[in-house]
Amino acid sequence: MNRTANAMYFSPTGTTKKVVSGIIKKISEYIGGETPINYIDFTLPGARTNPVSFSEQDIVIIGVPVYAGRVPNVLLNYLNSIIGNNTLAIPVVVYGNRNYDDALIELKDILESNGFKVIAAGAFIGEHSFSTTLAKNRPDDKDMAVVHDFANLIHSKITLQAEFQTIVVEGNQPYRKHYMPKNKAGSPVDIRKVAPKTNSNCNDCKLCVNVCPMGSIDGEDVSKFKGICIKCGACIKKCPTQAKYYDSEDYLRHKQELEIEFTFRREPELFI
């Protein structure tokens, strides 16, 4: 296989990066470790300013987290700027053990509409961005074993097949509406405008400013937001002093419901 291997991911807390990197590294190993790997991390705003294109000699693993059952809205413009030229692609979504709903089929459709040949796809589980207990420490060793098996299947398919048919993945067309949490009365609530607060533990290290994928935390006053919060969890989970937290009643109720309702273990789903 004489192709350039590419790994692209949006991964504020590192779960999607771990899955995508695991797939591409294993593919490289299966072919003798001689295929160069190009990593494109588009988590931070600056990385999403320039469009990217690929040739027919490339293979691309592209991963995003699932937000409310869909591809994150904030990534749509960037994802639609990525151009393939009959480029082999594997879309990957990572979700927090609730459901990936229509995110995988949506990402597949985006890639195919932009000139990619989707030859495989996968939905994996990562620790939920809202929680430290829901899908705790996933992807774990068992997940990574599936990642390695998936890479083997992809490598075999590329090696043995000259022509590729469109694969079928789980999901609906038209896509379902974004998943919305509900309040005590059972009515849907909108938590899009909810943002973390900052407590007295903060030592103004600015780490939260540097990890925010939307560039929304004010560098002069880290307790202030100058843009939207997508609830990715980066500023909370990466804060060395645990200074960031949420106090929204609707958000906290939703978090608690998820942690209670989805304690069972979901497993990755592969399509190839």
Residues 138 and 14 reside in one and the same domain: yes
Answer whether residue 39 is part of any domain. yes
Residues 86 and 202 reside in one and the same domain: no
Q: Residue 259's CB: how many other CB atoms inside 10 A?
A: 16
Answer whether residue 139 is part of any domain. yes
**Count of domains for the chain:** 2
Residues 27 and 118 reside in one and the same domain: yes
Dist. CA 70–CA 73, nearest whole Å: 8
Strand partners, 270: 122
Dist. CA 130–CA 232, nearest whole Å: 8
- In this prediction, residue 184 carries a pLDDT of 84
Residues 129 and 212 reside in one and the same domain: no
Domain span holding position 230: 197-247
Residues 165 and 201 reside in one and the same domain: no
Answer whether residue 188 is part of any domain. no
Q: What angle do CA 179, 70, 19 make, to 5 degrees?
A: 125
Answer whether residue 162 is part of any domain. yes
Dist. CA 272–CA 260, nearest whole Å: 33
Q: What is the CATH number of the domain that holds 242?
A: 3.30.70.20
For the chain of 272 residues, list the mean pLDDT of each consecutive stretch of 10: 88 98 93 80 96 94 98 98 97 98 98 98 98 98 98 94 90 96 89 95 98 98 96 98 96 95 97 96
Residues 82 and 211 reside in one and the same domain: no
Residues 165 and 241 reside in one and the same domain: no
Residues 232 and 158 reside in one and the same domain: no
pTM of the entire predicted model? 0.96
Residues 70 and 105 reside in one and the same domain: yes
Q: List the structure tokens of 175.
A: 């896509």
- In this prediction, residue 34 carries a pLDDT of 67
Q: Exposed, middle or buried: residue 191 (CB in 10 Å: 0-12, 13-18, 19+)?
A: buried
Residues 241 and 201 reside in one and the same domain: yes
- In this prediction, residue 259 carries a pLDDT of 96
Residues 54 and 115 reside in one and the same domain: yes
Residue located via tokens 């990197």: 21
How do residues 63-86 score in pLDDT, each as one tens digit? 999 999 999 999 999 999 999 999
Answer whether residue 93 is part of any domain. yes
Answer whether residue 257 is part of any domain. no
User: Can the peptide bond before residue 174 be classed as cis, meaning omega within 30 degrees of 0?
Assistant: yes
Residues 206 and 84 reside in one and the same domain: no
At residue 15, φ and ψ (nearest 5 deg) are: -70, -45
Q: What is the CATH number of the domain that holds 81?
A: 3.40.50.360
- In this prediction, residue 33 carries a pLDDT of 66
Answer whether residue 142 is part of any domain. yes
Answer whether residue 213 is part of any domain. yes
